[in-house]
Amino acid sequence: MPSGRSAGALPVVAIVGATGAVGVELIRCLERRNFPLAALRLLASARSAGKTLTYRGEALAVETLTEASFRGVDIALFSAGKAISKQFAPLAVAAGAVVVDNSSAFRRDPAVPLIVPEINPQALKGHGGIIANPNCSTIIAITPLWPVHRHNPIRRMILATYQAASGGGAAAMEELSESTRAYLEGRPYEPRVLPHPYAFNLFSHNSPIDAESGYNEEELKAVHETRKIYGDAAIRVTATCVRVPVLRAHSIAINIECERPITPAQVRALMADAPGVKLVDDPGRNYFPMPIDASGGDPILVGRIRADISDPSGRSVALFVAGDQLLKGAALNAVQIAELL
């Protein structure tokens, strides 16, 4: 339990980065899931101070994030970027709060649990005050695969992601909307947030590329985070991450190779009752997971499940998933972690 309060007392919750795209969804998730709290504090940069956001019908003022912001806070949900997390998360812990951090600041720290509640809730035990929320594309890819991995260990995973604008925040979503409008009206539009034209285009994920491996940062997150969350350092993972002109749901083409032969029917059966997962797999109508259906919803949609005909051993299956990047990919997963606390 968070320190500084008696057992059974409702926690005081703070959201850092409350006015951002994920911050707004954190507020909505807390309200929608009727999260039990004594008070909610909204924190952001000085330029957002004084703005109001609604929670349970009440207008809450956004406060400037300072070193003193965490007095009396029990749970702090961070979604303001890596630099802010590195600066302020230790201060929150020192003030008695438990931090659930949505940035990449602590994910690879062996002392910090990296949690997907449907997969490894037991890893919360013994946390040192900071809990990391995994990368959005990692959550969406590996949550549906967990029941398969438990039944028949996955030895290799190949991912190709189709990532939405929401992964770049509210500014990237606005750029997609504005550049699309300009394109349709025949007006020039100069990208300001992303490095390439976004309307009617797609491009390799714009995170930095590692000179040694040739993989970008987003792709390497999938590799390292999957191994940490699954508790399996031997699993082989490769990824190609691409930004596509979709507002807020990521889609991922996945190919898995299991330890033993496995059939599509077995994969469907394993996923049918998996928490946080919904099968959308209708070959007759050619209807499979789409970002338009995943947007605004909690479940990760899974379908297009089929045997990989290039693997004569029968150990490989291909599938396609879609999940809301702002919800299960970020805010919802963080709130679920807070619920476990």
Q: Among all residues, which ones are annotated catalytic?
A: 136, 250
Place of tokens 């609604």: 54
Q: Output the six-digit token pair for 183.
A: 């394109």
Place of tokens 């002392």: 111
Closest-CA residue to 256 (of 287, 282, 232): 232
Closest-CA residue to 273 (of 110, 94, 146, 114): 146
Strands (E) located in the chain: 12-16, 39-44, 52-55, 58-64, 75-78, 98-101, 130-132, 154-163, 203-204, 236-243, 249-258, 277-279, 300-307, 316-324
Torsion over CA: 107, 168, 13, 70 (sign):
positive
How far apart, in whole angstroms, are the C-alpha atoms of residue 169 and residue 174?
9
Spatial strand order of the sheet with 249-258 comes to 203-204, 236-243, 154-163, 249-258, 316-324, 300-307, 277-279
Angle at 289 between CA 288 and CA 293, to 5 degrees: 120
DSSP string, 66-97: -TTTTTT-SEEEE-S-HHHHHHHHHHHHHTTP
How far apart, in whole angstroms, are the C-alpha atoms of residue 165 and residue 170?
8
How far apart, in whole angstroms, are the C-alpha atoms of residue 226 and residue 120?
11
How many CA within 13 A on the CB side of residue 44?
Answer: 19
